[in-house]
Chain A
Amino acid sequence: MAGAEIRSKIASIKSTQKITKAMEMVSASKMRRAQERMRAARPYAERIRKVIGHIRLANPEFRHPFLVEREVKSVGIIVISADRGLCGSLNINGFKSTLSLVRELQQQGKEAHVALIGTKAQQFFRRLKLPIVASTTHLGDKPHLSALLGLITAMLDMYREGRIDRLVMVSNTFVNTMTQRPEQRQLLPAETLDASELQERWDYIYEPTAAELIDGYMMRYIESQVYQGVVENMACEQAARMVAMKSATDNAGKLIDELQLIYNKARQASITKEISEIVGGAAAV
């Protein structure tokens, strides 16, 4: 019976191993696609950054509220997480980074308001006593900006109304397949190019006025930053899952080898026992 038990255990580990192996391969291909999406989103943000730089250069007297530093009493934090688990410590690292930021703010007597992206962030932050401004989940493998707009608008409105004085985004950055690092990026007040970075010096014709244009560009700039954060976090998620699943597959392989050895030994022992019994029986006759 011990033999049969070990055999069924081996079979169950083998089927688990098949699943983890499949998940590893799926994550590998999804990671590549997420990285492509990351690259594809970059030119848009770069362009807008340059355009905003030009507008600021040409209109130094004009100051958009998104560009002005003010005394910080309350901070908005956009937390980006994955929708699913099984990706190592990726999500929890992001949350730890967020919590240390929140603690730091609270020690300074500042408030923190959070906006959550992803199911995991929701599950984590609902247990805490932090004001949650907005949340969005189930973005899928191909996140769309439209799914994020509501959350971003809610945060931008709070900033405009003066209920938050700074907007920070916490998400994972993709260093390489093995390494992902949680990072806090300041979105507002925004840092844009300063004059020294712009080589070309000319001015545009503005239709309608520069002041009216910059508002639209500023909003789109923030939106594209958040979108990039989401896409990058997704690449991180897939990479982390790929690595986690690879080690799970390897561990399953080791376990199977060990069990196989035990099974063979048990089988050998029972055969030896049987033979010695037969021999003993024959000798008695």
Chain B
Amino acid sequence: MANTIHVDIVSAEGEIFSGPAEMVFVPAVMGDIGIAPRHAPLLTALRAGEVRVKTPGGEEQLFWIGGGGVEIQPKMVTVLADTAARARDLDEAAALSAKQRAEEMLRDRTGAMEVAEAQAELARAAAQLKAIEKLRKMKGG
């Protein structure tokens, strides 16, 4: 198997692909690169785009990634894929909304019953109603 290279595509949420390949193409930030076996060790960041894996059978597999990084060693390639499409300003927006959620939560600190408590109350009431109904049936019958 001298003419193949081992490819792992992993994301924070799990493994996406693992297996041998004849050639791998990744969308690096400085331009797309093709990786053949015995490539020099290289570390680079990836843009959002397609990762193409040419398997030994000659077929091609496509994976979409939202960006990330790639680590290349002579016998192996590891694509560290981002699952979420992300950009700096997108993260900022998410951070802002997380902050807002916290603030909102603090604002109704004095709010009435919490939803969970209310739900428990409702469940108890429903159970009681059911019991009353049963009792009524028993008395009637």
Contact = CB atoms under 8 A, between A and B. Distances in A.
A62 to B, nearest CB: 14
A204 B39 CA distance: 11
B118 interface: no
B64 to A, nearest CB: 15
A150 B89 CA distance: 11
A123 B118 CA distance: 13
B10 A47 contact: yes
Contact of B12 (A134, A157, A223): A223
Query: DSSP class of B's interface residues: helix, strand, loop or mixed?
Result: mixed
B109 A208 contact: no
A122 B105 contact: yes
B78 interface: yes
Given A207-B44, A217-B69, A85 B116 contact: yes
Contact of A8 (B71, B91, B116, B138): B138
B13 A207 contact: no
Nearest to B128: A12
Contacts of A213: 43-45, 69
Interface residues of A, number: 54
Given A41-B14, A47-B10, A150-B91, A135 B83 contact: no
Contact of B30 (A208, A210, A216): A208
Given A40-B13, A43-B10, A204-B43, A133 B102 contact: yes
Nearest to A46: B10
Nearest to A136: B98
A33 to B, nearest CB: 12
Interface string B58-93: 000000000011011000001010111010000111
A126 interface: yes
A8 B135 contact: yes
Contacts of A212: 45
A213 B72 CA distance: 14
A4 B134 CA distance: 11
Given A136-B101, A144-B13, A8 B83 contact: no
Contacts of A227: 12-13
B86 A149 contact: yes
Interface string A142-177: 001110011101100100000000000000000000
A210 to B, nearest CB: 8
B32 interface: no
9 contacts: A4-B135, A8-B131, A123-B114, A126-B106, A144-B13, A154-B99, A203-B41, A206-B42, A220-B68
Interface of A: 4, 8, 11-12, 37, 40-41, 43-45, 47-48, 51, 54-55, 85, 115-116, 119, 122-123, 126-127, 132-137, 144-146, 149-151, 153-154, 157, 202-208, 210, 212-213, 216-217, 220, 223-224, 227
